[in-house]
Amino acid sequence: MFLKPSVYLKEVFTRLPAAICVEDIEALLPWNIAKVVFMLLRFNKNLVAKSQSLKS
């Protein structure tokens, strides 16, 4: 899995203020955050497809 640097940095800067402990910071490392971002993108893609099928 590969994230564009701009996507990665946007996610890090969005989530960093809420990081409280070391585990929160470690979750922002590239090899950890890529999994989360891809899952969110896949979930959002499914939601869009469902909403479009409901409109038809």
pLDDT at 52: 57
Asked whether 12 and 26 are in contact (CB, 8 A), the reply is: no
pLDDT at 2: 66
Q: Measured between alpha carbons, how far is 35 from 51 in angstroms, rounded to an integer? A: 25
First CA to last CA distance, the chain? 34
pLDDT at 23: 94
If you search the block for the tokens 């099928």, which residue do you land on? 53
Asked whether 8 and 33 are in contact (CB, 8 A), the reply is: yes
The pLDDT tens digits for 6-41 are: 888 888 999 999 999 999 999 999 888 877 777 777
pLDDT at 19: 95
